[in-house]
Amino acid sequence: MHNPRVTFRDVAKDVERWRAEGEEVALATVVCTWGSGPRGPGAKMALTRDARIAGSVSGGCVEAAVVEEGREVLETGRPKLLHFGIADETAWNVGLTCGGSIEILVEKLDDALFSAFADALRTRRALARASVIRGVDLGRTVLVRDGERVEGETGAAALRALERGQPELITAESGAEIFLDVEIPPPSLVMVGGVHISIALTAIAKSLGYRTIVIDPRGVFGNEERFPHADLLIQEWSDEGLETIGLDRSSAVATLTHDPKIDDPALMVALRSPAFFVGALGSKKTNEKRRKRLLERGLTEAELSRLFAPVGLDIGSRSPEEIALSVMAQIVAVRNRAV
C-alpha cells in the first residue's frame, strides 16, 4: 500500500516563501508506480537550486537524485520524465531497493501553474491538471477547474478524474500518455449542534486533518468554551450557517441535535449540495418521521437517498465518544469509497 499522497497544499507555504525570496522552483510529481513504489501517483516535492525541498516523492529513496535533475530543469526550462526502479542500474545508488519502481515528472513551476494551484487552495475549488508525460510536447498542461465546461478528449478525461478525486494515467487517441492530476480542497466536517457528541467528533476529525465547523444558534451549546478546538463556530440557524460557509465536494455534514427545528433546515440545504456525506443522528423510527417531514418540505426521493441515517457505523456505540467514533468512521469510509 502506498503512503499518503503529498499534495500541492502540503508544499504551498514553502513554495510561496521561496518565490517571494526570488527563487525559481521546480515541481516533481509522481506519475506512475509499479510494485511497491513508496509514494502514490500525484505525490509532490518542490525544490530550489540550492537544494531546499518540501514534500516527498518517495519517502526518502530518490529525493537526492530528483533534486539534481530538478536543478537541470530549472537551468534549461525543459521538463524531464525520470524513472527509478529495481531493474534500473541506478536503483541501488538512489536507494530504491524495496522492489518497486516509480516515474516522476519534473518541471519548472511557472507563474501560471503556481497561480492555478494557489487560487484553487484559496477558493477551495478543486483543480485537475492533464500533463503529457510521453509523446509530443512533454509537460504540456491543460487545467480544468471544478464546475467549468470543458471541450476535447483531454479536458473531458481531466474532469472525470476530478469527479473521482483520484489521479489517473491515460493514453490519448494520438498515442500520447497523459497524467491526470487532481488537487481537491482538504475535507471539512460541519457539525450541526454543539452537543457532547460534537465535542468528541471535533477532536477526532481534527486528528484526521479535517477542518471542523460547528453550527448552533443556541449560544449555550455552540460557544468557544465548549469548542476551543473547533476551527469555526457559527451561531446562526443551521440553514443560514450552511449557506454562509458554502458546501463543496470535500464537505461532510452531520446533524446531531435531535431537534427538527435545527436539523431539518440543515438537511434541506446539505442534501441538495455537492457534499460527499450527509448524516443525521437518531433511531430508525426517528428517521422515518424525518423522511416524511423532508419529503413534505420538497426534497425528492433521490435527494433523500443520499442521507446516512441513523448516522454512524454499527460498532455497538453507547457513550458520546463511541458514537463520535462511529460517525467519523463512516465518513472516512464513504470518502475512501469503502462503503
Cβ-based neighbour number of residue 75 at 10 Å: 12
pLDDT for position 198: 97
Which residue in 249, 83, 225 sits closest to 159, CA to CA?
Answer: 249
Which residue in 233, 320, 307 sits closest to 268, CA to CA?
Answer: 307
Question: Quick check: 96 and 86 in contact, CB under 8 A?
Answer: yes
CA 5/CA 58 separation, integer angstroms: 10
Q: Cβ contacts of residue 204 below 8 Å, gap of 6+?
A: 324, 325, 328
Domains of the chain in start order, with CATH, are: 1-109 (no CATH), 124-184 (no CATH), 188-335 (3.40.50.720)
pLDDT for position 268: 97
Instruction: Give me the residues paired with residue 255 across strands.
Output: 192, 280
Instruction: Give the rounded distance of the alpha carbon of 244 from its chain centre.
Output: 21
Question: Quick check: 146 and 137 in contact, CB under 8 A?
Answer: no
Backbone angles phi, psi at 139, to 5 degrees: 90, -10
Question: Hey, what's the cell of 106?
Answer: 519534473
Number of helices (H), then strands (E), in the chain = 11, 15
Q: Cβ contacts of residue 315 below 8 Å, gap of 6+?
A: 322, 325, 326, 329
Spans of the chain, pLDDT less than 70: 1-5, 35-39, 59-60, 86-100, 338-339
Q: Cβ contacts of residue 262 below 8 Å, gap of 6+?
A: 192, 193, 216, 217, 237, 238, 255
Sheet holding 307-308, edge to edge: 232-234, 211-215, 188-192, 251-255, 277-280, 307-308
The model's pTM: 0.73
pLDDT for position 25: 97
Which residue in 3, 1, 7, 2 sits closest to 250, CA to CA?
Answer: 7
Q: At what angle do helices 284-296 and 260-270 cross, to 10 degrees?
A: 60
pLDDT for position 2: 43
Instruction: Give me the residues paired with residue 141 across strands.
Output: 131
Which residue in 51, 43, 36 sits closest to 9, CA to CA?
Answer: 43
Question: Quick check: 15 and 84 in contact, CB under 8 A?
Answer: no
> Which amino acid would we find at residue 236?
E
